[in-house]
């Protein structure tokens, strides 16, 4: 069984990659076939991810079995590239699969027709995301970042038009600069620690000399800037609202996981490399992360209150959730991180649903959704689509406005963190961890940090609530003679499904929060991860037995300058 799980680790990367390659070969005309293949491939990827999630959940936290290491090409750990499945990566895999699937289903109703290669790009994006979540190697992380970014450049431009190309140009330029920073940071870390394997870096940090420590910290800081650009921390976030608001709705919805990739890497690397074992480097950069997170929340909240259109409102919601996550991670306590993980899942699903919902709502407000019709016509392959019916998929649903209204209200509750949905549970978990029940007794005091974070959580929730209520009133109650948008069944399904997942997570809050807590525990006690990765044995080619892993490199692979002195 373990053997099978081991090989399953690479499946979430290979399957979308192979599907995307197949789709490029299929050509642009067979869009329905491609949509079917994409749905099947994404569903199977989700099944893989859920299997890995169940596997990770069945293992006791903190044990060496709780992580499953896949040695690519059977090279032993610090030398080859490893894929690592643990609770965090399994969780992120599942989330990425669900979000991509929602965007995919939504796009099939109409949006996949406004540009070329939509399905292939979406599968490449999924492959890149899954790879970034699975890899245990810093440079391999860069490669998967580039895979997912390259796909995202294409997706931002999907549908073309001046605003998209303009926003896409900014998006690409910013991300290319971030990629160069990533390279500088990764190479500095290699120069200091002599390894690119994340677990190996963590193992070597405590023993570094002063000059190497300085190099490593500089590298980590530059690397952090690259990830924070992706996560959208202020002042590195000005590209985000423009790009997300300009992208077509299903793409923007899928992109709600993209900012979380930056958050994921920080969550993975920061407690591991700069945890309590790091000696002098412990909690390096923590105060920056905290301050940046708080300012991002403030910036996002102001942006929310100032936003004039719904896509921008959703983008600023993303910034608020990024800032909240960064500040919560920076606290560096297991309880708060556990709550933050719950919040990550909840806010990603909510923003994804919200981006999709906005498209349906706006359709009723902008007469006739004519812009889209023009784009489709300009692309010139309308004929084929008309042959199989201009509205090929599904039927118009009744009580449209009621469903949209309920969906909007649910999104508002989720994003503002009001009961009864997951947004509230997540925020409550974080607050509960900030104020432990035994505080006050036995000389423990509640510091200003806890109060600041409490204020941040409550005030940002309040700002979200005001902004969402104002938008809701303007959209649903003010117009007297608005046209009811024609909404197809297939477009409502993903939104309802995302909200139902949120509702299920609320009902199952007990087991889910236990999972999140165990994830946070293993993140803050990375010995099991480090040991697990470095002690993984190679598989013998015949497959009968395993040979012992070679001893740790004895100076050969150590910091290169040691051996390089002539």
The angle subtended at Cα 523 by Cα 520 and Cα 525, nearest 5°, is 110
Region 536-555 residues binding another protein, contact defined as CB under 8 A: 555
Least CB distance to another protein at residue 551 (A): 15
Residue closer to another protein (CB basis): 139 or 283: 139
Residues ≥6 apart with Cβ < 8 Å to 382: 376
DSSP 473: I
Least CB distance to another protein at residue 161 (A): 8
Instruction: Name which position in 124, 133, 190, 299 contacts another protein (CB under 8 A).
Output: 190
3-state SS, residue 115: coil
Region 102-141 residues binding another protein, contact defined as CB under 8 A: 139
Residue closer to another protein (CB basis): 79 or 435: 79
Instruction: Name which position in 150, 373, 393, 503 contacts another protein (CB under 8 A).
Output: 150
Query: Within 13 A of 335's CA, how many CA atoms are on the CB side?
Result: 12
The reply to whether 445 sits near another protein by the rule CB under 8 A is no
Show the tokens assigned to 268.
């993975």
**In this structure, are residues 57 and 5 in contact, taking their beta carbons and an 8 Å threshold?**
no
**In this structure, are residues 241 and 315 in contact, taking their beta carbons and an 8 Å threshold?**
yes
The reply to whether 169 sits near another protein by the rule CB under 8 A is yes
**In this structure, are residues 538 and 547 in contact, taking their beta carbons and an 8 Å threshold?**
yes
Instruction: Name which position in 57, 59, 179, 432 contacts another protein (CB under 8 A).
Output: 179
Residues ≥6 apart with Cβ < 8 Å to 344: 95, 260, 263, 321, 325
The reply to whether 73 sits near another protein by the rule CB under 8 A is no
Instruction: Name which position in 173, 371, 399, 500 contacts another protein (CB under 8 A).
Output: 173
The reply to whether 216 sits near another protein by the rule CB under 8 A is no
Least CB distance to another protein at residue 131 (A): 14
Count H helices and E strands in the chain, helices first: 24, 2
Residue closer to another protein (CB basis): 168 or 407: 168
The reply to whether 209 sits near another protein by the rule CB under 8 A is no
Show the tokens assigned to 452.
């600041």
Among 168-176, 227-235, 488-496, 531-539, the segment contacting another protein (CB under 8 A) = 168-176
Residue closer to another protein (CB basis): 160 or 400: 160
The reply to whether 224 sits near another protein by the rule CB under 8 A is no
State the residue for tokens 């007794």.
441
Number of chain residues interacting with another protein (CB under 8 A): 37
Taking the C-alpha atoms of residue 538 and residue 545, their distance in angstroms, rounded to an integer, is 9
Angle between helices 210-231 and 258-273 (to 10 degrees): 160
The reply to whether 457 sits near another protein by the rule CB under 8 A is no
Instruction: Name which position in 27, 209, 479, 563 contacts another protein (CB under 8 A).
Output: 563
The reply to whether 177 sits near another protein by the rule CB under 8 A is yes
Instruction: Name which position in 11, 22, 184, 409 contacts another protein (CB under 8 A).
Output: 184
From the centroid of its chain, how far is CA 77? 26
**In this structure, are residues 445 and 493 in contact, taking their beta carbons and an 8 Å threshold?**
no
Show the tokens assigned to 454.
């409490």
3-state SS, residue 110: coil
The partner residues of 68 in beta bridges, in order of sequence, read: 85
Least CB distance to another protein at residue 168 (A): 6
State the residue for tokens 């860069």.
142
The reply to whether 72 sits near another protein by the rule CB under 8 A is no
Among 58-66, 162-170, 359-367, 401-409, the segment contacting another protein (CB under 8 A) = 162-170
Least CB distance to another protein at residue 487 (A): 31
Taking the C-alpha atoms of residue 451 and residue 232, their distance in angstroms, rounded to an integer, is 24
3-state SS, residue 82: strand
**CA dihedral (359, 365, 371, 374) positive or negative:** positive
Taking the C-alpha atoms of residue 369 and residue 389, their distance in angstroms, rounded to an integer, is 18
Instruction: Name which position in 380, 510, 541, 566 contacts another protein (CB under 8 A).
Output: 566
Residue closer to another protein (CB basis): 162 or 445: 162
The reply to whether 214 sits near another protein by the rule CB under 8 A is no
Residue closer to another protein (CB basis): 380 or 443: 380
Residues ≥6 apart with Cβ < 8 Å to 448: none
Show the tokens assigned to 355.
């981006």
Among 178-186, 320-328, 350-358, 438-446, the segment contacting another protein (CB under 8 A) = 178-186
Instruction: Name which position in 28, 72, 153, 379 contacts another protein (CB under 8 A).
Output: 153
Least CB distance to another protein at residue 427 (A): 38
Residue closer to another protein (CB basis): 148 or 456: 148
The reply to whether 458 sits near another protein by the rule CB under 8 A is no
Least CB distance to another protein at residue 441 (A): 51
Among 149-157, 247-255, 425-433, 444-452, the segment contacting another protein (CB under 8 A) = 149-157
The reply to whether 143 sits near another protein by the rule CB under 8 A is yes
Pairing assessment for the beta strands 68-71 and 82-85 based on DSSP bridges: antiparallel
Residues ≥6 apart with Cβ < 8 Å to 434: 331, 335, 336, 446, 450, 453, 454
Where are the strands (E) in 341-411, listed by range? Answer: none
Least CB distance to another protein at residue 184 (A): 6
**In this structure, are residues 363 and 487 in contact, taking their beta carbons and an 8 Å threshold?**
yes
Among 12-20, 38-46, 165-173, 535-543, the segment contacting another protein (CB under 8 A) = 165-173
Taking the C-alpha atoms of residue 98 and residue 42, their distance in angstroms, rounded to an integer, is 9
Residue closer to another protein (CB basis): 4 or 564: 564
The reply to whether 166 sits near another protein by the rule CB under 8 A is yes
| Binding-site ranges for another protein (CB under 8 A) | 139, 143, 146, 150, 153, 157, 160-162, 165-166, 168-170, 172-173, 176-177, 179-180, 183-184, 186-188, 190-191, 196, 555-556, 560-566
């Amino acid at each position: 069984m373990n053997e099978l799980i081991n090989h399953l680790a690479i499946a979430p990367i290979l399957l979308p990659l192979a599907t995307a390659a197949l789709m490029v070969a299929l050509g642009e005309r067979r869009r329905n076939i491609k949509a079917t293949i994409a749905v099947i491939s994404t569903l199977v990827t989700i099944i893989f991810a859920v299997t890995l999630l169940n596997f990770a959940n069945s293992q006791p936290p903190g044990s060496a079995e709780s992580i499953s290491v896949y040695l690519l090409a059977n090279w032993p750990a610090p030398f080859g590239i490893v894929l690592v499945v643990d609770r965090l990566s399994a969780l992120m895999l599942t989330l990425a699969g669900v979000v991509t699937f929602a965007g995919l289903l939504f796009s099939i109703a109409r949006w996949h027709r406004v540009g070329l290669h939509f399905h292939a790009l979406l599968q490449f994006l999924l492959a890149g995301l899954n790879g970034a979540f699975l890899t245990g190697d810093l440079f391999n992380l860069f490669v998967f970042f580039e895979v997912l970014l390259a796909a995202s450049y294409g997706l931002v431009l999907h549908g073309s038009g001046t605003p998209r190309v303009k926003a896409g140009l900014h998006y690409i330029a910013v991300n290319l600069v971030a990629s160069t920073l990533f390279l500088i940071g990764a190479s500095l870390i290699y120069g200091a620690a002599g390894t690119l394997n994340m677990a190996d870096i963590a193992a070597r940090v405590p023993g570094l000399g002063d000059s190497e420590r300085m190099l490593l910290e500089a590298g980590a800081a530059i690397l952090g800037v690259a990830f924070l650009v992706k996560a959208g921390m202020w002042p590195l976030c000005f590209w985000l609202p423009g790009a997300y608001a300009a992208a077509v709705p299903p793409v923007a919805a899928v992109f709600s996981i993209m900012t979380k990739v930056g958050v994921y890497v920080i969550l993975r690397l920061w407690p591991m490399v700069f945890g309590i074992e790091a000696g002098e480097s412990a909690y390096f950069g923590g105060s920056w992360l905290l301050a940046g997170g708080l300012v991002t929340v403030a910036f996002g909240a102001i942006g929310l209150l100032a936003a004039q259109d719904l896509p921008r409102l959703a983008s600023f919601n993303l910034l608020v959730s990024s800032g909240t996550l960064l500040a919560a991670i920076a606290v560096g306590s297991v309880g708060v991180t556990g709550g933050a993980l719950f919040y990550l899942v909840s806010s990603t699903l909510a923003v994804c649903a919200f981006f999709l919902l906005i498209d349906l709502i706006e359709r009723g407000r902008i007469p006739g959704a004519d812009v889209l019709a023009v784009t489709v016509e300009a692309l010139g392959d309308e004929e084929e689509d008309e042959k199989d019916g201009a509205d090929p998929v599904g039927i118009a649903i009744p009580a449209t406005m009621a469903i949209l209204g309920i969906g909007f209200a649910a999104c508002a509750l989720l994003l503002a963190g009001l009961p009864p949905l997951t947004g509230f549970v997540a925020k409550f978990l974080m607050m509960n961890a900030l104020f432990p029940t035994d505080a006050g007794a036995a000389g423990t005091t509640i510091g200003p940090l806890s109060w600041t974070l409490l204020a941040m959580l409550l005030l940002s929730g309040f700002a979200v609530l005001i902004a969402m209520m104002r938008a809701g009133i303007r959209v649903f109650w003010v117009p007297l003679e608005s046209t009811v948008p024609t909404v197809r069944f297939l477009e409502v399904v993903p939104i309802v499904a995302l909200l139902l997942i949120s509702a299920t997570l609320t009902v199952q809050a007990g087991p889910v929060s236990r999972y999140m807590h165990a994830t946070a525990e293993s993140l803050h006690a990375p010995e099991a991860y480090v040991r697990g990765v470095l002690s993984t044995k190679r598989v013998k080619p015949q497959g009968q037995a395993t040979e012992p892993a070679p001893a740790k490199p004895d100076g050969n692979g150590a910091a290169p300058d040691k051996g390089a002195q002539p």
